[in-house]
Amino acid sequence: MKLLAIIEYTFREGLARKTIIGFFIISSFFLLLALLGAIFMPSTIDIGNAQTGQETVNIMNNEEVVRGVQAFLTGFINFAALVLSIFATASILPNTMEKGSIDLLLSKPVSRDHILFGKFIGSLLIVIVNVAYYIIGIWLIFGIRTGFWNTGFLAVTLSITFTFLVLYTPMMVIGIASRSSALTIILLYIYLFLVSPILEARQIIADLVKNDIVKQILDIIYYPLPKPDALGMLSRNLVIDQPIDWMPVWTSALFALAMYALAMLIFRRKDF
């Protein structure tokens, strides 16, 4: 019950700070755009070439076309969800450790481990509610408009939430150690937009410099770290029904476990 109270408090904190409301407004805006697009998009297009002449194609009944559009949207949704989720949750732990807030929590008969875990689950709940709201909304729009109910697109909710979970654990470490939400956001964005793409392109980089040692060094760095770009490809493969590479999943999961353990260790020893 104490754990549930902390989770509920974290969720209510998101409401009070307008985090969830902001998420909801942004998601609703893009859902409205998707709905308008579905209403006004023509059902058929004319395709012509010199050999077959003009041919009318019903794009709304074409499963491959629908999957392609959903795959394109998945890339945007994955990017936007991670950017907004990091921004929305980075302040939760630093704010918790402010004088007054942390004193109130520590005065209760609840362990520091329960406090940290409750904050962790509460942050995930904030993200998954908003991601699920948008994904399910888009899924319903596509399903009603085309008659094709792609469960792979619905599963993107879980893949995006898992990617955020993996990234949130180093956010916890940085937030607890520095008590700075700004530093947490900056470091995570640097990794997400700069470091991760470079590591994913390690083979291309090695080919350009024509040096296998460079690739070996990048591999050594790459495999222990989280892989948001590769997990984004996993989301795309779910949508287009392609085989999934599980390596980024379990290596990222191991990283998340290690970071959570480190965050717990630092939080236990933190002097408030």
Output the tens digit of pLDDT for each of the chain's 272 residues. Answer: 577 888 887 877 777 777 778 888 888 998 998 888 877 776 665 555 555 555 555 666 677 888 888 888 898 899 999 998 998 898 888 888 887 777 777 777 788 888 899 999 999 998 999 899 999 999 999 888 888 899 999 999 999 999 999 999 999 999 999 989 999 999 999 999 999 999 898 888 877 877 778 778 888 889 999 999 999 999 999 999 898 889 999 999 999 999 999 999 999 888 76
What is residue 18's three-state secondary structure? coil
Rounded to whole angstroms, how far apart are CA atoms 145 and 142?
5
Q: What are the structure tokens assigned to 57, written together?
A: 């194609």
Residues 94 and 179 sit within 8 Å (Cβ to Cβ): yes
Measured between alpha carbons, how far is 72 from 168 in angstroms, rounded to an integer?
25
Q: List, in order, residues 6 or more apart from 244 with CB less than 8 Å away.
A: 234, 237, 238
Sketch the domain layout of the chain as residue ranges. 2-269
Using DSSP, state whether 55 is helix, strand or coil.
strand
pTM of the model: 0.88
- Phi and psi at 243, nearest 5°, equal -60, 145
What is the model's pLDDT at position 46?
54
CA distances from 127 to 20, 99, 121, 215 (A): 8, 26, 10, 35
Question: For position 95, what pLDDT does the model report?
Answer: 85
Whether 110 and 155 have beta carbons less than 8 Å apart is answered as no
Token pair in block for residue 249: 């999943």
